[in-house]
Structure 1
Amino acid sequence: MKAIIFDTFGEADVLQVAEVPQPEVRPDDLLVRVYAAGVNRADLTHRRGGYGRPNFGDSTIMGLEIAGEVLQAGSAVRGYKVGDRVMGVVGGGAYAEIARLDWRMAMPIPQALDYVHAAAIPEVFVTAHEAMLHLGRLGAGDSVLIHAAAGGVGSAAVQLARATGATVYATADATKLDQVRRLGADCVIDYRTQDFAQVVAEQTSQRGVDVVVDFIGAPYFARNIASLAHGGRLVQVGILGGGGEVSIALEHILYRHLQIFGTVMKSRPQADKHAMVRRFREHWLDRFAHGAGLAPVVDSVFTLEQAAGAHRRMESSENVGKIILTMTA
């Protein structure tokens, strides 16, 4: 089968197509003919050497989410059979014509969706639900500030928040604000020219928001805390703007009853990942099938051979929604 490999860490040009053996099926595996795969920032980190030479428990090939057709089911698989259309989060191996997928990380593709749009769902929508609904406990009538709202997880979070009945404040580049507003944001904020904490304070009459979902990290931390209402929850999903040390007066956490969560899907135990997928599937999957206001956002599509171009597109930060690779069977 064809797959993307790289011999050395480096820029996007290190990616190359090669023939590699197809994965062996274990009892809990689905062997899937991959028709589309999502590109994630973790793939850039993988390519640059940020993880060393990982196999994520499944494959040395990069890529974390797929959509395709079941070719074979392991002996312990329940609920799936050969020929089923599935999408899901894999432990590496998505940048290939065939991948193996733990059946507990799989979801049936809603009938109305093609493979490209299905591949834009698993990683980002599961992550958005886990961060904002499960950890952040966002509910109808609450308010949420979503950073990087034009990205994959951010655009998913905006839709889920809107569908929950929350008021949505969202930051993005000025060129993307109209698109974020169309996704369901009530108040869009240009992060380059506006102070989001000041905007939130003004728009909420100094109350703040119930939940902040942040991908940026240290540069936003103090303003995120300032933007929270009494009893508010900050959920840290990424550190695109930098990690390192942050400081906070403990009195703010204590007397304002604040909570701070961190979440990264890739480093969680497998049982936790199963639960994350199950929670998302039970709560939201039917909404995609019935056209009830949720839709995967696809920015652009590249062939497997164009993987380097897909990485450069993500590195440009010009994308709104997901970047997808398609495979040629």
Structure 2
Amino acid sequence: MKAIQIDEFGDADVLRIAESPEPVLRPADLLVRVRAAGVNRADLTQRRGGYGRADFGDSTIMGLEVAGEVIAIGPEAAGFALGDRVMAVTGGGGYAEIARIDHRMAMPVPPNLSFIQAAAIPEVFITAHEALFHLADLQPGESVLIHAASGGVGSAAVQLAHAAGARVLATAQAGKLDRVRELGADIAIDHRNQDFAEVAAKETDGRGLDVIIDFIGAPYIERNIRSLAAGGRLIQVGLMGGGEAKIPLEIILFRHIRIIGTVMKSRTAAVKHAMTRRFRERWYEALSTGALSPVIDSVFPMADAAGAHRRMESGDAFGKIILSAAQ
């Protein structure tokens, strides 16, 4: 099969398409003919050598989410038939013609969605649901600030929080604020020209926010903590701005604040299975009716994975970048 490979770590130009062995079917697996694959920031980190090795999980081929057709089923895999359209988080190997997925990570593609749309769902929507509801326990009527709301996880989180009845504040670039509002944000904040902490204080009458979902890290951590109400929860999903920071411990103590980190890529298989199940049980119907929609920024041919990576690195994207492997 053809797959995207790297011979050395580096910039986007190290990505190349080449022949690769097909993945071996294990008892609990499905093999899927990939029609589309999502691009994630973890792919960029892997390409640059941020994990210290070419593989991080099941495969030396990058790619953490796919949509396609089932072409083989392991003897312990249940709930799927040959030819089924599925979408799934993978343990690596998504940038290829054929991907191997644990059947417990797979979901049927809703009939109203294309493979391109389906490939934009698994990683970001499951991550957003886990952060907002399983970890932060966001409740209707609570306030939540979602940083980087124009990204894949951020745009999914805005939709989910709005659908759950929360009051949503969201940060993004000035030119993306209208689209963030269209996704369901009540207050859209220009992260370059407005201080989100000041906006949060004003919009909550000084009480503070119940939940913050953050992907930035060090540059935001102190203001995030100071912006939380008593009993507030900060869910740290990424570290795009770095991981070394000053933390006001006295506020954490006296306001009884919880800080929880989460990275799907490093979770155990059992935890990932549970994350997928929780998301599917709560939100699959909303995807099937169109109440929730994946946000697609752009689509690149699989052979131009380098172009897709450059698009993500530009910072101009809104929503998901997808690789199309359709024949």
Shorter-chain TM-score range: over 0.9
Kindly provide the CA deviation profile for residues 138-160 of structure 1, in whole angstroms up to 9, marking residues without a partner as x: 01111100000000000000000
Residue identity over aligned pairs, in percent, reads 66
1:69-148 equivalent positions in 2, closer than 5 A: 69-148=69-148
2:199 maps to which residue?
199
**SS in structure 2 at match of 1:86:** strand
1:7 maps to which residue?
7
Question: Are the equivalent residues in 1 in contact too, given 2:36–2:326 (CA < 8 A)?
Answer: no
Kindly provide the CA deviation profile for residues 243-286 of structure 1, in whole angstroms up to 9, marking residues without a partner as x: 1243223x312221111100000011111111111110111011
2:318 maps to which residue?
320
For 1:26 and 1:138, the matched residues in 2 are separated by 37
Alignment RMSD: 0.9
Question: Are the equivalent residues in 2 in contact too, given 1:169–1:188 (CA < 8 A)?
Answer: yes
Kindly provide the CA deviation profile for residues 35-67 of structure 1, in whole angstroms up to 9, marking residues without a partner as x: 000000000011111112243331110010000
For 2:209 and 2:133, the matched residues in 1 are separated by 14
Runs of 4+ more than 6 Å apart:
none
For 2:32 and 2:152, the matched residues in 1 are separated by 23
For 2:70 and 2:144, the matched residues in 1 are separated by 38
For 2:246 and 2:283, the matched residues in 1 are separated by 35
Matched pairs, number = 327
Question: Are the equivalent residues in 2 in contact too, given 1:37–1:63 (CA < 8 A)?
Answer: yes
For 1:73 and 1:53, the matched residues in 2 are separated by 30
The one-letter code of the counterpart of 1:112 is: N
For 1:3 and 1:31, the matched residues in 2 are separated by 15
2:277 maps to which residue?
278
For 1:320 and 1:213, the matched residues in 2 are separated by 18
Question: Are the equivalent residues in 1 in contact too, given 2:148–2:215 (CA < 8 A)?
Answer: yes
Structure 1: tracts of 5 or more residues without a match: none
TM-score by length of 1: 0.98
The one-letter code of the counterpart of 1:169 is: L
Question: Are the equivalent residues in 1 in contact too, given 2:125–2:153 (CA < 8 A)?
Answer: yes
Question: Are the equivalent residues in 2 in contact too, given 1:197–1:224 (CA < 8 A)?
Answer: yes
1:214-229 equivalent positions in 2, closer than 5 A: 214-229=214-229
Question: Are the equivalent residues in 2 in contact too, given 1:125–1:156 (CA < 8 A)?
Answer: yes
Compute the displacement of 1:289 (Å).
0.5
**SS in structure 1 at match of 2:125:** helix
For 2:24 and 2:171, the matched residues in 1 are separated by 44
Question: Are the equivalent residues in 2 in contact too, given 1:97–1:328 (CA < 8 A)?
Answer: no
1:17 maps to which residue?
17
2:188 maps to which residue?
188
**SS in structure 2 at match of 1:94:** coil
- Does structure 1 residue 289 correspond to structure 2 residue 264? no
For 1:48 and 1:306, the matched residues in 2 are separated by 17
Structure 2: tracts of 5 or more residues without a match: none
- Does structure 1 residue 309 correspond to structure 2 residue 301? no
1:68 maps to which residue?
68
2:256 maps to which residue?
257
Kindly provide the CA deviation profile for residues 139-196 of structure 1, in whole angstroms up to 9, marking residues without a partner as x: 1111100000000000000000000000000000001001101000000000101000
1:48 maps to which residue?
48
For 1:136 and 1:53, the matched residues in 2 are separated by 32
For 1:177 and 1:59, the matched residues in 2 are separated by 38
Question: Are the equivalent residues in 2 in contact too, given 1:55–1:91 (CA < 8 A)?
Answer: no
**SS in structure 1 at match of 2:55:** coil
1:141-160 equivalent positions in 2, closer than 5 A: 141-160=141-160
Compute the displacement of 1:4 (Å).
0.3
